[in-house]
């Protein structure tokens, strides 16, 4: 089982050298907050009007897939795609070429369509087999997913509700110890591809009880997992989120130029600034919710014990748990 955990993708920049994809982490002091995570509520977790929910998701996706001039050389999703591509390359060399990536908690799609295109473009150029990506969510956004899927032959989705703590057969690896006879009786035929689970800016939404259930399901029914977060529970991330209100207000001019279609967004950005406020508040709370690498390892050990065959990797650190 391979696990990759990455925080603060927004802090990664491209090194100045001949290879534009050779990356270096910005060497800022990791000023961690004392104490444990705070699972405060986020406004986006509450029932919101469809227009507002869509506008917030579109803004967050744009932050993933666009770069900030003078601050980012490439978008955060480009870094995410490179990390996923590297792990897939490693896994296909050691475990065979037949893999698929299932994105959990996809919302309206998020950065996953961008990541899929980037990953498979890299794999094609390297002469490797392309990898299918699937979107999934507890509340499927079928209209948005159909549009995304129409743009790539390697992107599709699971149309039914998918609970990350109790996934359906379509989201389970054939290596699982689950009831294959029951799957056959339900009419499900597996494609024999191993499963990598992907969580993009999603895992911090789970409280510890749900997180343990999701990790237990992940360890039992998949072969690898990647957890990506744009933020971390540190002073630099919190300081950045304090400026999120002004960032969203400023970048809306370029990201969503004024038109009849974007007029409601502009009204709720500049006249009644609900959109930038929610992004700033939720971003701040997301930092407080985000687990450290050590806390993530402790959750895995709570679920599986300290004797399990797992390789866990973070930025600049890795842990190996071997069967004893």
pLDDT tens, per residue, the chain with 324 residues:
666 767 655 443 333 333 333 333 333 445 566 568 888 889 988 889 999 999 999 999 999 999 888 778 889 999 999 999 999 998 888 777 889 999 999 999 999 999 999 999 999 999 999 999 999 999 999 999 999 999 999 999 999 999 999 998 888 888 776 555 555 665 566 677 899 999 999 999 999 999 999 999 998 888 889 999 888 888 888 888 889 999 999 999 999 999 999 999 999 999 999 999 999 999 999 999 998 888 888 888 888 775 555 555 544 433 333 333
Give pLDDT, residue 203.
94
Tell whether 275 is covered by a domain: no
Phi and psi torsions of 14, nearest 5°: -90, 130
Return the number of other C-beta atoms located less than 10 Å from residue 244's C-beta: 19
Nearest Cα to Cα of residue 45 among 205, 164, 218, 193: 205
Residue 156: which domain range? 2-13+76-231+293-321
Tell whether 58 is covered by a domain: no
Count of domains forming the chain: 1
Tell whether 242 is covered by a domain: no
Could you tell me the CATH number of the domain that includes residue 297? Answer: 3.40.50.150
Return the number of other C-beta atoms located less than 10 Å from residue 242's C-beta: 11
Per-residue exposure over 28-61, b if at least 16 CB sit within 10 Å of its own CB, e if not: eeeeebeeebeeeebebeeeeeeebbbbbbbbbb
- Look up the pTM and report it: 0.84
Give pLDDT, residue 153.
95
Tell whether 156 is covered by a domain: yes
Judge whether 51 and 264 are in contact, CB under 8 Å: yes
Tell whether 158 is covered by a domain: yes
Say if residue 248 is exposed, middle or buried (CB neighbours under 10 Å; 0-12, 13-18, 19+).
buried
Tell whether 103 is covered by a domain: yes
Tell whether 306 is covered by a domain: yes
Tell whether 25 is covered by a domain: no
CA distances from 204 to 30, 61, 314 (A): 19, 17, 16
Judge whether 51 and 274 are in contact, CB under 8 Å: no
Phi and psi torsions of 165, nearest 5°: -85, -15
Give pLDDT, residue 185.
60
Give pLDDT, residue 12.
39
Residue 49 and residue 26: Cα distance in Å, rounded? 38
Residue 23 and residue 72: Cα distance in Å, rounded? 12
């Amino acid at each position: 089982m391979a696990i990759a955990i990455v925080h603060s993708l927004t802090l990664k920049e491209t090194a100045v050298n001949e290879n534009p994809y050779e990356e270096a982490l910005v060497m800022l002091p990791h000023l961690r907050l004392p104490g444990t995570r705070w699972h405060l509520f986020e406004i986006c977790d509450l029932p919101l009007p469809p227009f507002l929910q869509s506008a917030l998701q579109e803004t967050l996706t744009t932050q993933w897939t666009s770069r900030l001039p003078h601050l980012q050389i490439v978008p955060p999703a480009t870094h995410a795609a490179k990390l996923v591509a590297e792990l897939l390359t490693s896994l296909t060399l050691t475990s065979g070429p037949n893999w698929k990536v299932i994105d959990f908690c996809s919302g309206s799609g998020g950065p996953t369509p961008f990541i899929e295109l980037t990953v498979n473009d890299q794999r094609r150029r390297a002469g490797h087999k392309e990898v299918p990506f699937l979107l999934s969510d507890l509340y499927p956004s079928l209209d948005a997913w159909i549009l995304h899927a129409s743009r790539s032959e390697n992107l599709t989705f699971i149309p039914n509700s998918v609970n990350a703590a109790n996934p359906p057969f379509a989201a389970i690896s054939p290596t699982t110890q689950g009831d294959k006879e029951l799957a056959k009786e339900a009419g499900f035929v597996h494609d024999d591809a191993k499963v990598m689970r992907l969580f993009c800016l999603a895992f911090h939404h789970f409280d510890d009880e749900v997180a343990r259930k999701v990790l237990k399901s992940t360890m039992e029914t998949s072969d690898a997992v990647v957890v990506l977060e744009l933020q971390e529970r540190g002073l630099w991330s919190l300081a950045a989120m304090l400026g999120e209100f002004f960032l969203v207000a400023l970048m809306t001019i370029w990201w969503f130029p004024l038109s009849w279609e974007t007029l409601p967004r502009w009204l709720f950005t500049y006249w009644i600034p609900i959109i930038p406020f929610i992004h700033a508040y939720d971003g701040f709370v997301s930092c407080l919710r985000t687990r450290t690498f050590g806390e993530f390892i402790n959750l895995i050990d709570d679920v599986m014990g300290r004797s399990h065959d797992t390789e866990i990797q973070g930025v600049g650190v890795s842990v190996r748990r071997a069967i004893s």
